[in-house]
A and B are shown apart, each in its own frame.
Chain A
Amino acid sequence: MTKIEAIIRPGKLEEVKDALNKLGIHGMTVSQVIGCGHQKGRTEVYRGAEYSINLLPKVKVEVVVRDQWVDQCVMAISEAARSGEIGDGKIFVYPLSDVIRIRTGEHGDDAV
């Protein structure tokens, strides 16, 4: 089992969800996050005072998949989330030791 965590542009969420749905992946956790990478921030101005905003809003999508689906899943997310401009985000892949479905008590691949 593998956890895939993708930090993407907020505007790309729908496309990423569609791409995952096409692979049959329906379960996911989505959070609004802020962060910074290579993308520079932006400037906001309030009554003439400038503020440099370095942490930008992003969306974090977390999905857990069986190991054989990892490559396809990563490919689907990266294609759907790509705009080609700086600030498209990153995908992190983690091995998981176990998954438990709370309702049934199932473990491992059965719970994914």
Chain B
Amino acid sequence: MKSRLRAVLMFILYSLMLPGIAWAGDTPTIDTGDTAFVIISAAMVMIMTPGLALFYGGMVRKKNVLSTMMLSFIVMSVVSVIWALYGYTLAFGPDIKSFIGGLDYLFLNGVGQEPASGTIPHVLFMAFQLMFALITVAIISGSIAERVRFSAFLAFIIIWVSVVYSPLAHWVWGGGWLMKLGTLDFAGGTVVHISSGVTGLVAALVIGKRKGYGTEPMVPHNLPMTVLGAALLWFGWFGFNAGSALAANGLAASAFAVTHIAAAAGGLSWVIAEWLHHGKPTILGCVSGLIAGLVAITPAAGFVSAVPAIVIGLVVGPLCYFAVAVIKSKLGYDDSLDAFGIHGVGGTWGAIATGLFASKAVNEAGADGLFYGNAGLLVNQLIGVGATILFAALATFIILKLISTFMNLRVSSDDEVVGLDISLHGENAYAYTDDLVGSITKEVKAPAEAAGTMVKTV
């Protein structure tokens, strides 16, 4: 019971097939080391979403930095509540016809300190999975930043996490049909990255290009902020991938190592690609490549060794570079911060690569890939990729069309020109000086008077 797959499978068995039965010696018990490790891993995955806010925030124009970061932070608020109320049970409740989880864990009833399976508390597994839902939904915002209306985004994420993410997580991890088919996704190549990337692309197409896209420069306003965000993402990704072993064991250590190696290879290969293509190696390219490497290794992290990890990273850099630098401009869609170009494309490659390089020598609970004599796994992976793309794209299109009957999906043209920070949130990230920002419009207590009412304590 050392891998996520096996842990979840056992969880389903206990929940469905053997209710109320426990044998002496077989009762799962808490392991303090495993529990400590997964708590820390969950915290590391949590910091990825603020990291993403910085990563994205630096890449937009300065008039939209706060509104862009806000999209990530509001996801953390909204999705966390939904997950506790009903999202978790839809994803990991007892299987209903291989499509969705039952409502046994509605409002987290029955999700307590006892282990559901494996050696960690059930509530910790729920919290760990919650962090995955957060980063997945936040990634989508990168495609539609700088023009999406905040209220429309709120409506969208509430519906999307309910009808797309939770069922998809169930399909792959919660005992659904892809899991039964044998599709492998160690830490979220399909569930997290393909689903968010494809959703972002569809949303970008439905909402439309930013005003002035293609004619006005839309250059990143603060690349050091983006680099800091990438650093937090890289750090958090160790919790994302190694933590998905759900135990402090050799598999976690292996996932940790290949995660780092693939990220490094991705950063290197993107830089080489742009150096050859454009003549200069850039820091934005370096951090974009390492994120692409992390995306690509995610589904494979628990199933591959070091050399395949290097290959996965070396391929994904030029692949995603080609997607964002050539394909995007050729096709003319405005995926603002390349959520599709990096997460959609990188995640797809990672899922396919899992079908090529997975090895039972790394994880006996997994399967051998094509290069280890099992072409069937590659077929399963392709089915998983295709199903995820179709489901996410179709559902996203329907949700957005539904919302657009009630409200505008994007801000007005004037608001877009002013910038969303001011027009939507009434905030300014970079006030010129404190003295020049304006006058106080509401009566406030004079500082001297306020000071006079203070009671001195000696």
A residues near B (Cβ < 8 Å) are 44-53
Contact = CB atoms under 8 A, between A and B. Distances in A.
Interface residues of B, number: 18
Contact of B274 (A45, A52, A53): A45
Contacts of B381: none
Contact of B282 (A46, A51, A52, A53): A46
A105 B12 CA distance: 86
B284 interface: yes
10 contacts: A46-B284, A47-B284, A48-B324, A48-B325, A49-B324, A49-B329, A50-B278, A51-B217, A52-B217, A53-B217
A48 B68 CA distance: 22
B219 A48 contact: no
Contacts, number: 32
Interface of B: 217, 219-220, 274, 277-278, 280, 282, 284-285, 288, 321, 324-326, 329, 338, 341
A111 to B, nearest CB: 25
A41 to B, nearest CB: 11
Nearest to B326: A48
B321 A46 contact: no
Given A44-B219, A51-B219, 9 more contacts: A46-B220, A47-B284, A47-B285, A47-B325, A47-B338, A48-B274, A48-B325, A48-B326, A52-B217
A53 B280 CA distance: 16
Best-buried of B288, B325, B338 by chain A (most CB within 10 Å) = B325
Contacts of B274: 45, 48
A52 B219 CA distance: 11
A54 to B, nearest CB: 9
Nearest to B216: A51
B125 to A, nearest CB: 37
B278 A48 contact: yes
Contacts of B219: 44, 46, 51
B88 to A, nearest CB: 36
Nearest to A51: B217
A45 B217 contact: no
Nearest to A47: B324
Nearest to A48: B325
Contacts of A47: 284-285, 288, 321, 324-325, 338, 341
A49 B217 CA distance: 10
Nearest to B220: A46
A51 B8 CA distance: 49
